[in-house]
Structure 1
Amino acid sequence: MTPTTAPLIDAHHHLWDLDQRPQPWLDDPALATIRRTFTPDGLRTTATRPIAGRRLHSTVAVQCVPDVPETEDLLALAEREPLIGAVVGWADLTSPAIGDLLDRLLAGPGGTYLRSLRHLVQGETDPEWLQRPDVERGLAAVRDRGLCYDVLVRSHQLDQAVRLAERFPDLPQVLDHAGKPPIADGDLADWERQVRLLAAHPHVVCKVSGLITEADHEKWTVDDIRAVWDVLLSVFGPGRLMFGSDWPVANLAGGWNRWAATVDALLDGCSGTEIHAVLAGTATAFYRLPSVPEEAEVTADSATHTI
């Protein structure tokens, strides 16, 4: 593969410093191998495998815990860390003071890097959490400040995402981890049906991320992931898909470079324009990242990708 100057954007990864801020979710014994600190320098040294000849250029750092101080930490880090181009933060959508809080975050250190909010809906037991009146009021505050929303649901909660898309057509939304399809179970029918309904809403895009941890961590193959990729490519099209690593969570099932090699294989046969969309263009537009240099776009469009 001939190297290219076109960028590769990792639109979904995490960072945490356990000496600075606890991550209680890491207490799960199954997560022991990632129960340590992960920094931008760690990502730089880890993400060495190019995709379609592209090497990591910039990233979107995503919150982990429902904690405003963590979001403030990420924003301050983005201000001094050139690798990070945007932050997906957290704020309490149910709070009557959500608007004031968002204004404070946007005006604070690194506030210009805040581009989207996320809540761990996957952990909510209310089957209509995203449709609660207080949540919808919070989402309206997000929309009114020009921010986007990252939708984190499990496959059985995708109906909430569909209703969110219906009720907020003017709030840009991205489906994190493709709605967590049950790859390990092998039955994708219900997931596919809901994803097709969601993709019918043009203001919703999708992250090709987090898929290997939904598969068998030890035995997954490219073909396991391809079954999901083929659906996503069909219903969203490359112009509404973006690459994300979900590092360091991806380390549970092979790591950044193995996932990059898998995406490289999935892109086989795509045109340069399609590759550019998945690896940079969609994320750049959605998260309002710095525009790609013109010469990089020309390089990306110059040929069909082959392995």
Structure 2
Amino acid sequence: MQAVPDMAETHYMLSLAHSTDFILGVVGWIDMQHIDAPYNIAKLSNNPYFKGIRPMIQDILNDDWMLQPQFASAFKALTELGLCFDALVKPRHLQQLITLVDRYPNLKVVIDHAAKPNIAETQFSQWKEDIQALAKRPNVYCKLSGLVTEAGYNPNFDILIPYMSHLLKSFGASRLMWGSDWPVLNLATDYNQWVTLTEVFLATLTAEQQTQIWSKTATEFYRLQHLE
């Protein structure tokens, strides 16, 4: 998963995928504002490990950035090539994301970190409404990740449950995928604690549903497979 807005990092991660057995896919970064964006997407798609792109929308001051008409050819390229769009957004972007996914109903979209709701200040109602609206679009998926760090330095993880429950209710197991958000989650907890919390939360689901959230949704969404 991309971490900086630099195509050099995308190529580096793809090289790691080719040399490392446990990396099955790469979500990279391209400059969507560049005239060659569709060409760059198409060129990267020749690499079987390349699965899609993630612009760092959360850091962009213009909340309407993703809706610029000049991006149409890039979104069209992603759609036609069966690639994915990781929406690294915050709650303030969700209305725009609804507009985007309605504009491109065949684009595979996943909301990263559940759009980072402001859990520390228990801001819930608008996020809940927007997430529910997005979940009604069948091309939209969501990651069960990133929530711990949004709770701030709060040792009471029960504060996360209403948000996790809403995601599960809205997307179901078939469109919800677990993510570690490592190493960022180390700002608030650690990998083992987040895994344990998720295990407890999912304990009432069937084994099939749990497998779906832990791995199968991501495998299907990103079309992951071991390559020879």
Cα offset for 1:220? 3.6
* In 2, Cα distance between equivalents of 1:275 and 1:226: 16
Counterparts of residues 286-297 of structure 1 (less than 5 Å): 286-290=221-225
Q: What root-mean-square deviation, in Å, do the aligned CA atoms of Structure 1 and Structure 2 show?
A: 1.3
1:63 is aligned to 2
Contact kept? 1:63, 1:90, Cα under 8 Å: yes
**Paired residues of 2:38 and 2:73 also in contact (CA < 8 A):** no
Q: Tell me the amino acid that sits aligned with residue 221 of structure 1.
A: N
Deviation of 1:265 (Å): 1.1
Aligned counterparts of 2:224 and 2:63: Cα–Cα separation in 1: 34
Q: Which position in structure 2 is the counterpart of 1:186?
A: 122
* Structure 2 residue 206 is the aligned partner of structure 1 residue 267: no
Name the aligned partner's letter for residue 69 of structure 1: A
1:1-307 mapped onto 2 (5 Å cutoff): 62-107=1-46, 111-216=47-152, 218-290=153-225
Deviation for aligned residue 1:144: 2.0
| Alpha-carbon distance between aligned partners in 2 of 1:220 and 1:141, rounded to the nearest angstrom | 44
TM-score (norm 1): 0.71
Post-superposition offset of 1:289: 1.2
Q: What SS class does the counterpart of residue 119 from structure 2 fall into?
A: coil
1:119 alignment partner, SS class: coil
**1:112 match: secondary structure:** coil
* Residues 85, 109 of structure 2: 8 Å contact kept: yes
Unaligned runs of 5+ residues in structure 2 are: none
Deviation, structure 1 residue 178: 0.5
Deviation at 1:152, TM superposition (A): 0.7
SS in 2 for 1:135: helix
Quick one: distance in 2 between partners of 1:139 and 1:220? Answer: 41
Matching residue's letter, 1:85: L
Do the aligned partners of 2:30 and 2:40 also contact (CA within 8 Å) in 1? yes
Q: Is residue 87–residue 114 contact of structure 1 (8 Å, CA) maintained in 2?
A: yes
Shift of 1:99: 2.1
Length-normalised TM-score, structure 2:
0.95
Q: 1:255 Cα deviation (Å)?
A: 1.6
Contact 2:45 2:51 in 1 (8 A): no
Structure 1 residues not aligned, in runs of 5+: 1-61, 292-307
Cα offset for 1:219?
Answer: 1.8
**Distance in 2 (alpha carbons) for counterparts of 1:278 and 1:98:** 32
In 2: Cα distance, 1:241 partner to 1:208 partner:
7
Choose 1 or 2 for highest CA Rg. 1
Q: Encode CA deviations 1:188-238: one digit per residue, 9 max, x unaligned.
A: 11110110111110111100011111112x324331111111100111111
Question: 1:137 Cα deviation (Å)?
Answer: 2.4
Query: How many aligned positions are there?
Result: 226
| Equivalent position SS for 1:165 | helix
* Structure 2 SS opposite 1:130: helix
Equivalent residues of 1:215, 1:224 under 8 A apart: yes
SS in 2 for 1:126: coil
Q: Deviations over 1:156-210 (max 9, x none)?
A: 1111111111111111110000011111111211110110111110111100011
